[in-house]
């Protein structure tokens, strides 16, 4: 009788332990599915309202949420919509190119465990699928991927996935760095919404100017405290049109905090302040960017400053990289509005 009681206790403990193990593996996501899972696609991407993307490369990770028709970071930060639409397009149209050959499954799984982009797809606030996106195949026509289902568990086998008519690695379509996803817009104004543009050139203050819109077709141009009596109205209109679509090129991945502090304490090359008709201002500071290697000019002498790129301090104090090609048309002087000399008109 005593032995039977002991056996009964062991059985009960074993059953409880089994259920505890199943519950733990299910909640931790470590359980394996009983069969290979290949249903990666979500056809109704309009029902997707959250994407959580991380990687094994040390990125900060991002949580993207749908707010109506727009996508933002969970914190509310702006993201480039076309990059999210690229992700959704991939989620909708992705297809299996082929299974991974049986002899390669173990190696691919090992590679995916240590090097991957992980994306969790939420449909109507519920986790629907988790993708593990690895390296491209040797011919670049497919990407090794593994699927995890919240109910069935993680697939024991990966698949080679692709987008029809696309050549390359699908992992590049899923960005886990919030900086790379963030909006790059600096100025985006309809000219009729601009009240004034003030440009300051600290090292050449005699060339400062301010354009003031008195109405849709009437302007005033100031050179410091002096009103310019004659100026080319066409050039003023053209200048304000240049504020319609101005973006920076990239975020700062080079300057340390000490370098950033030093840069901000230095004298800007240009300062540009735009005020709209609601009284809201947007000011940027432009700093010359020094070469970190020797570059010779056409005269054979070393050049100190980058001729293609500048440092830009945004309205919120963030430092980013911008192109002269984009900002050069905004970096005018008062002489620009006077038009060409009489002999060149």
pLDDT per position as a tens digit, 224-245: 999 999 999 999 999 999 999 9
Residue 10: what pLDDT? 47
Instruction: Take residue 331 and report the two structure tokens written for it.
Output: 């970096």
- Mean pLDDT on 257-262: 94
Closest CA to 176 of 56, 321, 92, 94: 56
Burial 40-50 (b: 16+ CB within 10 A, else e): bebeebeebbb
CB atoms within 10 A of CB 28: 8
Structural domain ending residue among the three candidates 181, 206, 225: 181
Residue 30: what pLDDT? 56
- Mean pLDDT on 107-132: 97
Say if residue 197 is in the same domain as residue 49. no
Instruction: Report pLDDT digits (tens) over 30-89.
Output: 587 788 999 999 999 999 999 999 999 989 999 999 998 999 999 999 999 999 999 999
What range does the domain containing 232 cover? 186-344
| Residue 80 covered by a domain | yes
| Residue 159 covered by a domain | yes
| Residue 1 covered by a domain | no
Q: What are phi and psi of 78, to 5 degrees?
A: -75, 140
Say if residue 284 is in the same domain as residue 152. no
Say if residue 212 is in the same domain as residue 339. yes
| Residue 319 covered by a domain | yes
Say if residue 243 is in the same domain as residue 196. yes
Residue 296: what pLDDT? 61
Instruction: Take residue 268 and report the two structure tokens written for it.
Output: 């800007």
Closest CA to 234 of 245, 221, 247, 225: 221
Say if residue 69 is in the same domain as residue 166. yes
Say if residue 114 is in the same domain as residue 194. no
The count of structural domains within the chain is 2
Say if residue 63 is in the same domain as residue 156. yes
Is the pLDDT confidence value at 317 over 50? Answer: yes
Say if residue 52 is in the same domain as residue 153. yes
Closest CA to 117 of 69, 75, 72, 161: 161
Say if residue 211 is in the same domain as residue 72. no
Is the pLDDT confidence value at 327 over 90? Answer: yes
The residues pairing with 50 across neighbouring beta strands, listed in sequence order, are 65, 122
Instruction: Take residue 324 and report the two structure tokens written for it.
Output: 């002269």
Q: Got the DSSP string for 1-54? A: -HHHHHHHHHHHHHHHHHHHHHHHHHHHT-PBPSS-------S-GGGEEEEEEE
Structural domain ending residue among the three candidates 151, 181, 211: 181
Mean pLDDT rounded to a whole number for the chain: 88
Residue 209: what pLDDT? 98
Is the pLDDT confidence value at 340 over 70? Answer: no
| Residue 20 covered by a domain | no
| Residue 16 covered by a domain | no
Q: How far is CA 196 from CA 20, 236, 245, in A?
A: 68, 11, 17
Q: What does pTM read for this prediction?
A: 0.76
Instruction: Report pLDDT digits (tens) over 36-46.
Output: 999 999 999 99
Is the pLDDT confidence value at 26 over 50? Answer: no
* Element containing residue 147 per DSSP (H, E): strand 143-149
Structural domain ending residue among the three candidates 120, 149, 181: 181
Query: Can you tell me which residue has the tokens 């340390």?
Result: 256
Say if residue 325 is in the same domain as residue 191. yes
| Residue 317 covered by a domain | yes
- Mean pLDDT on 283-310: 79
Say if residue 304 is in the same domain as residue 199. yes
How much of the chain, in percent, has pLDDT values that exceed 70?
Answer: 86
Instruction: Take residue 276 and report the two structure tokens written for it.
Output: 């709209």
| Residue 36 covered by a domain | no
Say if residue 236 is in the same domain as residue 112. no
């Amino acid at each position: 009788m005593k032995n039977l009681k002991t056996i009964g206790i062991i059985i009960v403990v074993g059953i409880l332990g089994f259920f505890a193990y199943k519950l733990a593996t299910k909640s931790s996501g470590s359980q394996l599915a009983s069969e290979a899972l290949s249903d990666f696609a979500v056809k109704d991407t309009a029902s997707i309202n959250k994407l959580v993307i991380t990687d094994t490369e040390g990125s900060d990770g991002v949580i993207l949420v749908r707010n109506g028709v727009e996508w933002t970071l969970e914190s509310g930060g702006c993201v480039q919509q076309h990059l999210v639409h690229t992700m959704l397009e991939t989620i909708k149209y992705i297809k299996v190119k082929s299974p991974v050959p049986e002899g390669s499954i173990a190696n691919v799984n090992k590679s995916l465990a240590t090097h991957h982009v992980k994306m969790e797809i939420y449909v109507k606030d519920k986790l629907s699928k988790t993708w593990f996106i690895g390296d491209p195949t040797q011919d670049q026509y497919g990407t090794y991927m593994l699927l995890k289902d919240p109910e069935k568990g993680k697939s024991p086998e990966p698949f080679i996935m692709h987008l029809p008519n696309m050549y390359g690695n699908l992992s590049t379509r899923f960005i886990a760095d919030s900086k790379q996803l963030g909006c790059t817009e600096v100025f985006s104004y309809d000219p009729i919404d601009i009240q004034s543009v003030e440009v300051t050139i600290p090292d050449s203050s005699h060339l400062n100017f301010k354009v003031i819109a008195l109405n849709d077709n009437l302007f005033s141009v100031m050179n410091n405290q002096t009103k310019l009596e004659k100026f080319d109205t066409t050039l003023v209109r053209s200048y304000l049109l240049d504020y319609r679509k101005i973006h920076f090129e990239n975020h700062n991945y080079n300057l340390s905090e000490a370098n950033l502090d030093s840069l901000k304490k230095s004298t800007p090359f240009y300062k540009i302040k735009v005020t709209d008709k609601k009284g809201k201002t947007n000011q940027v500071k432009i700093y010359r960017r020094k070469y970190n290697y020797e570059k010779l000019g056409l005269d054979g002498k070393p050049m100190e400053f980058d001729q293609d790129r500048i440092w830009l301090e945004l309205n919120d104090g963030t430092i980013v990289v911008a192109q002269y090609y984009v900002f050069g048309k905004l970096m005018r002087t008062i002489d620009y509005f006077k038009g060409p000399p009489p002999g060149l008109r």
